[in-house]
Every structure is written in C-alpha cells, then in structure tokens.
A and B are shown apart, each in its own frame.
Chain A
Amino acid sequence: MKIVLEHLTKRYPNLNRKIKEDVIAVNDFTFEIPDGQLIGLLGPSGCGKSTTLNMICGLEPPTSGRIWFGDDDVTNLPPENRGVGMVFQSYALYPHLTVRQNICFPLENLKGADRLTRAQMDEMALETARLVQIDELMDRKPSEMSGGQQQRVAIARALVKKPRVLLLDEPLSNLDARLRLQTREEIRRIQRETGITTVFVTHDQEEAMSISDMIVVMEAGVVNQIGKPQKVYDDPVNLFVAKFLGTPPINLFDAEIRGGRLYLGGDCVLQGADSVPDGPVVAGIRPEGFVPDENGPLVCGLMAVEVMGRDTSIVAEHPACGGQIRAIVDTEDIPPEGAQQVRFSLRPAKVHLFDRDTGERIRI
C-alpha cells in the first residue's frame, strides 16, 4: 500500500494562553511513500515526527492537508477503520491479558463477514507469533517477559490483522544497547518478509540509517530532506541534516572562500570552488574526509590517537574549529608517537559548504 501525504499540517493552540499564535507541530509535509518500503522518520524530540505518525494512524486529525492510502482518501477516517497496525513506544500491551489474548485482541474486533472462529484466530495468532519468534511464550503475561519479548508481542499484535500499513513509534528506545542492534535487524527482516509498508519514528540516526529504505529528516515541524540513507548522508541539503547524521558527527569549521579557494584559517585546503562567491562560509568535513598526509594543507595540533581496532580516530585541534576535530583514518596512517602536529589532506566529496547565516548547502 502506497501512502501519500499531501501538504500535511498540524497546529496546536499554544499551551501558554497569552500567546495567540499556534504551535506548528508539522508544517506542509508532502511525501509519497512507495509500497512495501521501510521509512524512517528521523529528528530530534519535538520535531513533529510522532505527530506525523499519529496523523497517519488517525489518532490525531490533521489541521490541513490530506492523507491517502493507495487511492483512498483516509484523512477523516477514524483509526479503527484505517487498517493500520501500530507499535507504541511503551508497547501498550494489555497487562491483564496473556500473550495469546493480546495478539488475538485485534482479531476479536472483526465484525460481520470478517468474523473469525476461535480456531482461525488461534491459528493466525500462532502464525504471527512464529514470525516474531515468541510462539513459545503464548501463555505468559506481559509482566513476566523481558523488554525485548514484550516488543515482539507488540509487533505481533500490530501485524496479526494483516494491516495495510505498519507504524512504529520509537520501537527501540526502551531496549538496552545490545538488544537494540538485534531488534532492529529483526524489524527489517519482518518487514521484508511481510512486505507491509512501514513507517517508524526514531531520534537515533544510526537506527534510521541502518534499516530504512528511505529516511525523512525533520526539524521543528519541517521536513528537511527525504532520501535514501546513504544519499542523505553523502549529500545533506543543509547544516542541520549534516550535523544530525553521522557518528562521530561532522566537523565544522569557520571558513572563507577567496577566489574559488577554501581557506580554514590560514590554510588553503581546497581548490576549484570557482562557482562560489567570495565570503565567509561554514565548512563541514566528515570524519572520514581527513587523510593524514605529511604534505597536507591542513595543519592541526594533535591531541590524541584512539585505536579502535578496525580503524583509528585522531583527535586534533585547529584554530578555525570551535571544538575538537575527530578524524577516522586507516590504522596504517597513524602519525608517529610523540608527534605534536598532524597534517591532513581532504577528500573533496566529504567536504560540504554551508551558508553561514541560513545553514543552506552551498554546492561547489
């Protein structure tokens, strides 16, 4: 099922009644989610991603704009008629029911021609439970299960009625780090197997990048960028997206363009930016954009070398950079012990320029 969001907007009256102006939670969100894809809605807390999810689900009506499931306009349809499955951040499992009863719950709601017999329900519940690998635990109560198992029950309950759309609200945030890695692969696998169009919300960029077909980066109610994770990472449209994606984060420098050349402080690090007018800019350099080079143009003070096995990160400082520079380099490129300085040359593809005032990307 393809989902189309058309100029979706959500305003709330301001909680502080003195302020007449509405709070805009989501502003003019337009996006077509292709059938069978896994979409990550990514952004810091309060950016409107959960509101967007709730609007798709039907729990909150949009202020304006339309929502289409395939060819159906479902904007005014209450959630119970939309045929969506939703997994809540806190799982929202019914604590007084067993796993089996929890999973059967949505099936028991079916009426009329869709009505199922008890045997059919049990069969479907078991089948779904197998899919998420909790078929051994059918008679437990939620309180007798670990967080990861509860999460699977929640997913099973959302999937059992074969929804047109699956929605997940921060599905991994209540799990510990190890379980999170495992569960996100699990979500990916289940989504692949069922082929259900899935939207999930997260504030963790790594989570979104690792399993999504497409990610949507939101900030303060506004969609900043939509695209394949790698594409968004490699080609951010603005400073916010560049900063939000990537661990370690992108390194930012106060830089200047003079005559088509990029200067960080006194160092001329790049050439060929002829299309860019002279003036101050913000230069963002990904950690993997630094190549240690004895003759490199960027001269930094060496602070520390952290060996992490597969690769090594060099912590350095530079007058044009407010904080520390973190570069990820190949292990064989480590500067000699006792060195005070390290010189880098840069990979041009990993250097992004942004307008100092608007944060918009300046393309070379």
Chain B
Amino acid sequence: MKARGIRPWLYLLPALVFLGIFMVYPLFDVMVYSVEEGYNSASQTYYGIGGYNYAYVLRDPYFLQALKNTFILVIITVPVSTGIALLISLGLHSIDRFKEFFQTVFFLPYVTNTLAVGLVFMILFKKTPYSDGFMNLLITAVGGTAVDFIDGPYWAKMFVMCFYTVWVVLPFKILILTSALASVDENLYKAARVDGTSRMRIFTRITLPMISPMIFYLVITGFIGAFKAYSDEVAIFGTDLNAAGMNTIVGYVYDMLYGDSGGFPSYAAAAALILFAIVLTITCINLLVRKKAVI
C-alpha cells in the first residue's frame, strides 16, 4: 500500500480545511491581533505594532478583578472537588447495594445544561424582597442571618460560584476515580488485610499510589478547566459579569470581543494569550511536580 497519489489527501481534506481555517490560522492571527495597537474593527485599521494591548489589559481593573476571581476559583475548587470526588468514589467502591443507583445519580449533572441548572442555583441562593430563598431558609433555621448570595457580599458570591463549579465538575471526577479504583487488583487489598495493614495505611500505601496517575490527570484537567470557567458564572450571575464583580478571564475575553463593552479584538487577544500563558505555566509546574513525586 505505497503512496498512491492524492487519495489519502482526499480523505484528509475536510479535516485539514476545517482545522486550517478554524484552528491554525486563528492561532497565528490571534497573536497578530494582540500586538496591533489601536485596532478598530469597523475600519480594520491600526496605528502600530507593540505591547500596548498587553499593558492595557494588565492595568484594566476589570481584568485584574477577573484574574483574582479566576485564581480564587481555581485554588478552591480544584482541591475541594478532587477531594470530595475521592471520598465519594471510595464510598462507592466500598458498597454493593444501590451502587449503580448512586453512580447514576452522581453523574446526572454531567448531562445537564449548565446554563439551565445555574438558573436553579441562582434561585435557590437568591434573596429578594419577596423571599429569602431556600438557602437562607436553611441558614436561618440553624441560627444564621440571611445573606444575598447573588447580589450580596463578595465572599457569598464567591461561595456560590465555587459551590456550583464543584457541583458541575464532580460527576466527571467521580466517574474517573471510581473506574480507577475498580481497576486496582482486589487481591492487593486482600493481601494487605491478611498482613494486618490498617485501613489508613492501605489507603496511603496502596490505594493512593495505584490511582495516583488518575488523580494527577484530574488535577491537571481540573486546573485547565477551572481557569477557563465562564458559562457557569453566566448561569448564576447573568451576562454582565463585570457589573456583578464576578467576571473570569475568559469572560473578560468575550466581553472585549462582543456585547455592550465589545469591539476590541486586540484586547481580547492579549487577554486570551495571557490566559494561555498562565495555563501553560501551571501545567508545566504540575508536570514537574509529578516527575519529582514519581522519582
């Protein structure tokens, strides 16, 4: 089956065309955008080339707010969701009855429209003049004071944001960890038990090392996913995230591109490249840590 002319290329043509137009070309184009100063999307003109767009973005309070929000979100949700997922998977792994039922229920958020369910969260947490909302009902029931989680103090909004993010990302993590746990040879646990190993030691010396590649995979994808958070925030706080003070980096990019504050693809490009640089750095750090941990 030696190269026979153009036939293989014909099979590849659709993929090459689409990828070329919508991935490869944009990749270079976005870099060009990011250095074109004073770009005007109506007249498609610019003054010159330089780093002004980056400087502008890095000084823009909205971007700094978005950066802060994103970092808090990442720092909180990645460890919390991975930890909870690990706990739940361990629980699922240890039971027989209702296992499939629990697995199915836990996976449900994965297949739901996050925009739609975000609305429900908004309603559950929102405090309006007509009603304190369900969450505040619970809080007052245990003796706390009602808080508006949607339009109220920053920490309350951040809490809802993190809570919803964890709720959304858990199904995937639980699924991956449950199958990782299931793939560990049951005999290893039996052998350890016969040798009188305590539960804690079985967990730290056998379970964790055996599933650590999967945990690591989840941490990396979790970091990347959380840095790109956007639509979950829109679902809860509405499209004007800047006004809510809850914008994320990706949200900032889109806001620069389109909408009431839009029309600045150069700023959007600069912000997107900054995000890419952050994600790349964190991923590299993760890989380095991983390598150290293995050796």
Is A88 interfacial (CB 8 A cutoff)?
yes
Kindly specify which of B111-119, B187-195, B263-271 makes contact with the partner chain.
Answer: B187-195
**Which residues of chain A from 57 to 77 have a CB within 8 Å of any chain B CB?**
57-59
Contact B195 A161 (CB under 8 A): yes
Interface flags for B199-234 (1: CB within 8 Å of A; 0: not) read 001000110011000000000000000000000000
A79 proximal to B (CB < 8 A): yes
Q: Is the CB–CB distance between A105 and B188 below 8 Å? A: no
Cβ of B100 under 8 Å from chain A:
no
Q: Which residues of A contact B194 (CB under 8 A)?
A: 57-59, 79-80, 82, 84-86
A79-B190, A85-B195 are known contacts; what are 17 more A-B pairs with Cβ within 8 Å?
Answer: A79-B193, A79-B196, A80-B194, A90-B185, A92-B185, A92-B187, A92-B188, A94-B209, A95-B210, A96-B209, A105-B195, A108-B201, A109-B195, A109-B196, A109-B198, A109-B201, A157-B191
A92 touches B190 (CB 8 A): yes
Closest Cβ neighbor of A80 among chain B residues:
B196
Asked if A81 contacts B196 (CB within 8 A), the reply is yes
| B197 interface neighbour in A58, A92, A105, Cβ under 8 Å | A105
B169-200 with Cβ < 8 A to chain A: 185, 187-188, 190-198
List CB contacts (< 8 Å) of A129-187 with chain B: 157, 161
* Chain A contacts for B191, CB-based, 8 A: 86, 88, 92, 157
Q: Chain A contacts of B193 at CB under 8 A?
A: 59, 78-80
List chain A residues, Cβ under 8 A from B196.
79-81, 106, 109-110, 161
Taking residues whose C-beta sits less than 8 angstroms from the other chain, chain A's interface range is 20 to 34
Cα separation A90 to B191 with both chains bound (whole Å): 11
Contacting pair B197 A109 (CB below 8 A): yes
13 sampled A-B residue pairs with Cβ under 8 A? A79-B194, A80-B193, A80-B196, A86-B194, A88-B187, A89-B187, A94-B205, A105-B192, A105-B205, A106-B196, A109-B197, A109-B201, A157-B195
Instruction: List the interface of chain B (C-beta within 8 A of A).
Output: 185, 187-188, 190-198, 201, 205-206, 209-210
Given the interface pairs A96-B209, A96-B210, the reply to whether A90 lies near B187 with Cβ below 8 Å is yes
B195 touches A106 (CB 8 A): yes
Minimum CB–CB distance from B192 to chain A (whole Å) comes to 7
Q: Report A227-282 residues with CB < 8 Å from chain B CB.
A: none
Interface residues of chain A, those whose CB is within 8 Å of chain B, are 57-59, 78-82, 84-86, 88-90, 92, 94-96, 105-106, 108-110, 157, 161
A90 to B185, CA, bound (A): 9
| Complex-state Cα separation, A105 to B205, whole angstroms | 9
> Which 8 pairs of residues, A with B, have the shortest CB-CB distance?
A106-B195, A92-B187, A80-B196, A92-B191, A109-B196, A96-B209, A86-B194, A88-B187
**Residues of B with C-beta under 8 A to A82:** 194
- Chain A residues contacting B190 (CB-CB under 8 Å) are 59, 79, 86, 88, 92
Do A94 and B187 touch across chains, with their CB atoms under 8 A apart? Answer: no
Closest to B190 in A: A59
Distance of A94 Cα from B205 Cα, bound (Å):
9
Measured between C-beta atoms, what is the minimum distance from B245 to chain A in Å? Answer: 46
A residues within 8 A CB of B187? 88-90, 92
User: Taking the nearest CB of chain B, how far is it from the CB of A117, in angstroms?
Assistant: 18
Verify A80–B209 contact, CB threshold 8 A: no
Compute how far the CA of A358 lies from the CA of B225 in the bound complex, rounded to whole angstroms.
Answer: 70
B residues less than 8 Å from A58 (CB atoms): 194
In the bound complex, CA of A350 to CA of B244 (Å): 95
Contacts of B195 in A (CB 8 A): 80, 85, 105-106, 109, 157, 161
Provide the bound-state CA to CA distance between A85 and B188, in Å. 14
- The smallest beta-carbon distance between B186 and chain A, in angstroms, is 9
Q: How many Å lie between the Cα of A108 and that of B206 in the bound state? A: 14
| Cα separation A106 to B196 with both chains bound (whole Å) | 7
Complex Cα–Cα for A19 and B228 (A): 54
Task: Please report the C-alpha to C-alpha distance between residue A95 and residue B206 in the assembled complex, in whole angstroms.
Answer: 9
Q: How far is the CA of A90 from the CA of B205 in the complex (A)?
A: 20
B215 to A: closest C-beta gap in Å = 14
Residues of B within 8 A of A85 (CB): 194-195
> For A96, what are the chain B residues with a Cβ–Cβ distance below 8 Å?
209-210
Bound-complex Cα distance A326 to B141 (A): 86
Which of B188, B190, B196 is most buried by chain A, counting CB atoms within 10 A of its CB?
Answer: B196
Q: Which residues of B contact A106 (CB under 8 A)?
A: 195-197
Best-buried of A59, A85, A92, A106 by chain B (most CB within 10 Å): A92
Hey, which chain B residues are within 8 Å of A109, CB to CB? 195-198, 201
What is the CA–CA distance of A86 and B185 in the complex, to the nearest angstrom?
16
Tell me, in angstroms, the Cα distance from A253 to B197 when the chains sit together.
55
Q: How far is the CB of A200 from chain B (nearest CB, A)?
A: 15
Closest chain A CB from B80 CB (angstroms): 27
Residue of A nearest to B209 (CB): A96
For residue A79, which residues in chain B have a CB less than 8 angstroms away from its CB?
A: 190, 193-194, 196
Q: Once bound together, how far apart are the Cα atoms of A84 and B191, in whole Å?
A: 11
Task: Return chain A residues, CB-CB under 8 Å to B188.
Answer: 92, 94
- Bound form: Cα–Cα A110–B198 in Å: 10
CB of B208 to closest CB in A, whole Å: 10
A15 CB → nearest B CB, Å: 13
